[in-house]
Amino acid sequence: MNLQVLESQFWSLCLQGLALGFIYVLISLGYTMVYGVLRLINFANSEVFMVGTFATVVAQVGILQNQTDAQPLNGFRLIYTLTFALVFSMLICGFLGILVELVAYRRLRALGAKPLGFLISAIATSIVLLETTRILTFSRPQTSPRLLDKWSFGEFAGANFRIDTVMVIISGIVIFFTLDRFVTKTRLGKAIRAVSMSEEISKLMGINLNRVVSLTFFIGGLTTGAAAFFYTTVYETTQFNVGFNLGLAAFTTAVLGGIGNLRGAFYGGLFLGVLEQFASAILGSQWKSVTVFTVLVLVLLLKPNGIFGEAVQQTRT
Amino acid sequence: MINLRDKGASVWENWSPPARSSFVLIVITLVALLPYAGDFGPTSFLNTPISSYQAVLVYPIALFVLMGLGLNIVVGKSGLLDLGYVAFFAIGAYTMGIMGTMTSLNTWEILPFGIFFAMLAGLLLGLPALRLRGDYLAIVTLGFGEIVRIIALNLEVTGGPNGVVGVPTPPPILGQKFELDDHKAYFWVILIMILLVIWMVRRFTVRRPGRAWEAIRQDEDVAALMGVNLLIYKLWSFTIGAAVGGAGGVIYASKTMFIAPDMFTFNTSILVLACIVFGGLGNIWGVILGASILAYLPERIRFISNARQLVFGLVLLIIMNVRPDGLLPRKKREKILQKAVK
């Protein structure tokens, strides 16, 4: 127990927690969107994230020809590189999401399989993704070049506002609220909400079910890809097994806020990120996940549907 | 497609009792002779390259069948998704490891303790967790599995990341010695445990708990309306499943003589779950078939060492796409019921 950090590093921990939390939020949208529509856990999402981290490195090193030990870029070149890597990672993950749906879900949905069948086929897909990456990268960790010079905006109340932390938080807010607007305001978003209310009735209303499901996986992939980009930018290294822990945390995030509920995932992720930072500072980082799961159980006991309740739609019969 | 399960059941029902018991005896004998199959000419294709065939037969195959049967009570019979089943296996193994090295008790005396502690853990986890619904239960059990592993990794009594070394092997029974390089005896012990579990599950299925589990699995709300005490029967299912896992853990620790936290990761839970879904959820024979295949396959194709997990994943994916209900699905009776509802 080290309670002193509460005084000395309170705001610093909060800031780091928020940055981590936004990465969780973005990954957890990949779980929550799919769950909202299909009522199924998208277990392959953690590996989609893993592929995204490699896609980021490929975009920076392979396509834009930056050396792994390159000097930080600046000006237009920097913005161009980061934007390109972000979009590349998002698109790769988005299309991978569609592919996962085609391979692991579509035929099983047509056959009317039970939820556990989907779970296993999703896990099988994630094994395939994981093993392919492992073989292709020879199980070696891959460092990403430090293209973004990590200067600090300065310290406020003991918290170090570094450029990458601030970038993750601002972009996280932007991406999340864009998605939120998309789901609540647009026609396609309406279709997603309709399917999550009732598959059968939305079919009767002329909604192309398969297209909506593909779209959901695509959007989930997009946000997961964004998270992968931010993760790689902040931590500058990735490995084939990076998906497991982050996927687990993101899944916990989704459940904490009420799985299927976008805004729930938002608050759940921030809460979880901050909680993890405090737990590792106070109890030591080895007890981090124990604390997280204990809190999760307590929350679920008090609010069995997560803090903000379930589902994309507002009401449920 | 032919439903092997129903075909088999109809043949079985037409047999006379003596024919049935002799068939069972023959099957048990054949299975008990499996350790010799690797050396015996016609069946030597079963032999696994690189790893010893008899060792593979004990772990993973026999232990996975045992764990699969235990998890099947929880997931298959009562429909509670448990993603942290390896925790009970770990608790059994650590009970054996710690008590075996610190006290003078032998494996058979520790076995009840291992089962007891696993059941206790099941009860402690189940009391809060079983009030939750489907997917929330899944994440809580998943967390529990991780917590047990992390605790084992960080406590001194469990040896931290180094684990427990020098776990004693069981003393001989009926003159059969248990030695490190002799895997047959372990196989027979686990086989007896598997048979006991099969018998137990079959008895439960036709009695009150089995009917209660079936009701809970099909519809919790209706079951509650019909007067089934949800929490009690879910707890029973959970703790009995835990007991089987704990028993498996004790034998496992006693066989490998060494346990470490990284033997009990989430992957093992997932693999056991994959075994029972792959074989046919809720059907004992399907579970046994699924666990045997999924535990055996990676060892058999070890010669493509680097890609064997990849091939495993692909096979799993293809089979799930072709037979989403598993190789040997549950009885047809239920399907007829479903049709009637539709």
Q: What is the pLDDT of residues A173-217, one digit of tens each?
A: 999 999 999 998 999 999 998 998 888 899 899 999 999 999 999
- Per the CB < 8 Å rule, is B321 touching A121? yes
CA-CA-CA-CA dihedral for B148, B152, B156, B162, to nearest 10: 180
- Per the CB < 8 Å rule, is A120 touching B316? yes
| Distance from the B237 Cα atom to the nearest Cα atom in chain A, whole angstroms | 18
pLDDT on residue B44: 67
Tokens of residue A190, six digits? 């309406």
Decide if A133 contacts A239 (C-beta within 8 A).
no
Does A46 contact chain B (CB < 8 Å)? no
The mean predicted confidence, pLDDT, of chain A is 86
pLDDT on residue A316: 36
3-state helix, strand, coil in chain B (%, to 5): 75, 0, 25
Decide if B65 contacts B292 (C-beta within 8 A).
yes
Under DSSP, the state recorded for B78 is: T
| Chain B contacts to A (CB-CB under 8 A) | 75, 81, 128-129, 131-136, 138-140, 142-144, 146-147, 150-151, 153-154, 266, 270, 273-274, 277-278, 281, 306-307, 309-310, 312-314, 316-317, 320-321, 324-326
Residue from B147, B218, B267, B294 whose CB has the most chain A CBs within 10 Å, to mutate: B147
How many angstroms separate the CA atoms of B170 and A46, rounded? 42
Terminal CA-CA length for chain A: 47
Residue from B147, B156, B320, B322 whose CB has the most chain A CBs within 10 Å, to mutate: B320
Does A192 contact chain B (CB < 8 Å)? no
Mean pLDDT of A87-110: 94
Reported confidence tier of residue A315, pLDDT bands at 50, 70, 90: very low
How many angstroms separate the CA atoms of A22 and A169, rounded? 6
Q: Which chain B residues are closer than 8 Å to A293 by Cβ? A: 140, 143-144, 146-147
H or E segment and range at residue B249: helix B230-256
Q: Which chain A residues are closer than 8 Å to B314 by Cβ? A: 124, 128
Does A132 contact chain B (CB < 8 Å)? yes
H or E segment and range at residue B151: helix B134-154
- Per the CB < 8 Å rule, is A290 touching B151? yes
| Distance from the B83 Cα atom to the nearest Cα atom in chain A, whole angstroms | 11
State which residue of chain B sits closest to A127, comparing Cα positions.
B313
> Greater confidence, A6 or B265?
B265
Does A5 contact chain B (CB < 8 Å)? no
> Greater confidence, A165 or A70?
A165
pLDDT on residue B99: 92
Q: How far is C-alpha B115 from the geometric centre of its chain's CA atoms?
A: 14
Q: Which chain B residues are closer than 8 Å to A300 by Cβ? A: 132, 136, 140
Does A286 contact chain B (CB < 8 Å)? yes
Q: Which of A113, A128, A296 sits opposite B313 (nearest CB)?
A: A128
How many angstroms separate the CA atoms of B257 and B169, rounded? 7
How many angstroms separate the CA atoms of B225 and B56, rounded? 47
Closest CA to A30 of A98, A111, A85, A79: A98
- Per the CB < 8 Å rule, is A41 touching B135? yes
H or E segment and range at residue A238: strand A237-238
pTM: 0.85
Closest CA to B280 of B321, B314, B245, B323: B323
Mean pLDDT of A8-21: 87
- Per the CB < 8 Å rule, is A296 touching B306? no
State which residue of chain A sits closest to B76, comparing Cα positions.
A116
How many angstroms separate the CA atoms of B148 and B92, rounded? 12
**CB neighbours of B124 closer than 8 A, spacing ≥ 6?**
none
Under DSSP, the state recorded for A311 is: -
Q: Which chain A residues are closer than 8 Å to B134 by Cβ? A: 115
Tokens of residue A270, six digits? 């921030």
How many angstroms separate the CA atoms of B44 and A192, rounded? 55
State which residue of chain A sits closest to B275, comparing Cα positions.
A120
Residue from A120, A139, A295 whose CB has the most chain B CBs within 10 Å, to mutate: A120
Mean pLDDT by 10 residues, chain B (342 residues): 70 85 90 79 68 80 93 90 92 93 88 96 90 78 88 86 86 75 84 94 90 89 90 94 95 89 87 87 88 85 75 85 81 58 55
Q: Which chain B residues are closer than 8 Å to A250 by Cβ? A: none
Count interface pairs A-B at CB distance under 8 A. 124
Closest CA to A227 of A185, A167, A160: A167
- Per the CB < 8 Å rule, is B128 touching A301? yes
Mean pLDDT of A19-41: 90
Residue A312 three-state SS: coil
% residues pLDDT > 70 (chain A): 97
How many angstroms separate the CA atoms of B236 and B228, rounded? 13
How many angstroms separate the CA atoms of B159 and B208, rounded? 43
pLDDT on residue B338: 60
The residue ranges of DSSP E strands in A86-211, in sequence order, are 142-143, 152-156, 159-162
Q: In this structure, how many other beta carbons lie within 10 angstroms of the beta carbon of residue B108?
A: 13
Q: Is the pLDDT of residue A1 over 80?
A: no
How many angstroms separate the CA atoms of A151 and B341, rounded? 65
How many angstroms separate the CA atoms of B213 and B204, rounded? 10
| Distance from the A263 Cα atom to the nearest Cα atom in chain B, whole angstroms | 18
Whether residue B329 has a cis bond before it, omega within 30° of 0: no
pLDDT on residue A170: 93
Closest CA to A149 of A236, A204, A37, A71: A71
Give the type of residue at B48.
Answer: T
Q: Which of B142, B154, B309 sits opposite A286 (nearest CB)?
A: B154
Q: Is the pLDDT of residue A244 over 90?
A: no
User: How open is the CA angle A256-A260-A262, to the nearest 5 degrees?
Assistant: 80
Decide if A101 contacts A217 (C-beta within 8 A).
yes
State which residue of chain A sits closest to B127, comparing Cα positions.
A301
Let me know how many helices (H) and strands (E) chain B has, helices first.
15, 2
| Distance from the B190 Cα atom to the nearest Cα atom in chain A, whole angstroms | 27
> Greater confidence, A305 or A20?
A20
Closest CA to B302 of B85, B47, B29: B47
State which residue of chain B sits closest to A120, comparing Cα positions.
B274
Decide if B283 contacts B214 (C-beta within 8 A).
no
Q: Which of A131, A135, A296 sits opposite B143 (nearest CB)?
A: A296
Q: Which of A35, A121, A289 sits opposite B317 (nearest CB)?
A: A121
Task: Enumerate residues 239 to 258 of chain A having a beta carbon within 8 A of any beta carbon in chain B.
Answer: 244, 248, 251-252, 255
Mean pLDDT of A229-252: 88
Residue A11 three-state SS: helix
- β-partners of residue A162 are A152
Tens digit of each residue's pLDDT (9 = 90 or more) over B238-270: 999 999 999 999 999 988 888 999 889 888 888
Tokens of residue B13, six digits? 């029902």
State which residue of chain B sits closest to A113, comparing Cα positions.
B324
Q: Is the pLDDT of residue A314 over 70?
A: no
pLDDT on residue A313: 42
Q: Which chain B residues are closer than 8 Å to A261 by Cβ? A: none
Which residue in the block uniquely carries the two structure tokens 């990403």? A144
